[in-house]
Chain A
Amino acid sequence: IAGITQAPTSQILAAGRRMTLRCTQDMRHNAMYWYRQDLGLGLRLIHYSNTAGTTGKGEVPDGYSVSRANTDDFPLTLASAVPSQTSVYFCASSDSQADTQYFGPGTRLTVL
């Protein structure tokens, strides 16, 4: 069982370009999440999805969008990247009953 996979592992992107970070889980978890990790700030929630077909805004949603067409996939899109979106992005999922969130390996994104 792979758990959660994220792609790409890392990316350097020019400002203004569009970018989609991919996240796939094979645990059949209902809920999925996107976080960004920045030094000294911990993890901040960008968007979340409680179940397939629904999404919600987290703490720092501006400049990002998500979709949840099925249970397994939860892509994060930056429509027009800016340097302040340089960060490490983590996808996570949880089973509604167990409450524990399980994290992917992360994507390191640099916007120049």
Chain B
Amino acid sequence: AQSVAQPEDQVKVAEGNPLTVKCTYSVSGNPYLFWYVQYPNRGLQFLLKYITGDNLVKGSYGFEAEFNKSQTSFHLKKPSALVSDSALYFCAVRDGTNDYKLSFGAGTTVTVRA
């Protein structure tokens, strides 16, 4: 079985401050990890993924995430948040040894205030 936990329902930061959205996962095999963002009344947009290689992954819109195997975490980060980053963020995982099914976290709402 595979699962994802996003421990924070909401994250609020001031514009220009660092942004972190937390994610921990559980899989039986090697994890494939993803971050998606959803703007109001829109579908999910892919931000970045970790499959293998460098633990620090860089993605779209200045976001990055760090894979930590010992802590089974994949936290999303942005050094300087923008008001336009306000959205719903989802972490997802799949077991690299099975088919393509993803398991999603419940989501974290990010609010960046001006």
Q: Which residues of A contact B (CB under 8 A)?
A: 4, 31, 33, 35, 40-45, 48, 50, 56, 58, 90, 92, 94, 96, 99-106
Contacts and interface: CB of A to CB of B under 8 A. Distances in A.
Interface of B: 9, 32, 34, 36, 42-46, 49, 51, 90, 94, 99-107
Contacts of B101: 33, 45, 48, 58
Contact of B104 (A4, A43, A100, A102): A43
Contact of A103 (B9, B44, B94): B44
Contacts of A105: 42-43
A50 B94 CA distance: 14
Given A41-B106, A99-B51, A90 B44 contact: yes
B90 A43 contact: yes
Given A41-B106, A42-B105, A99 B100 contact: yes
A100 B49 contact: yes
Contacts, number: 56
Given A44-B104, A99-B49, A104-B43, 8 more contacts: A4-B43, A42-B104, A48-B99, A56-B99, A101-B46, A103-B43, A105-B43, A106-B43
Contacts of B45: 103
A4 B43 CA distance: 10
Nearest to A105: B43
A9 to B, nearest CB: 10
Contacts of A41: 106
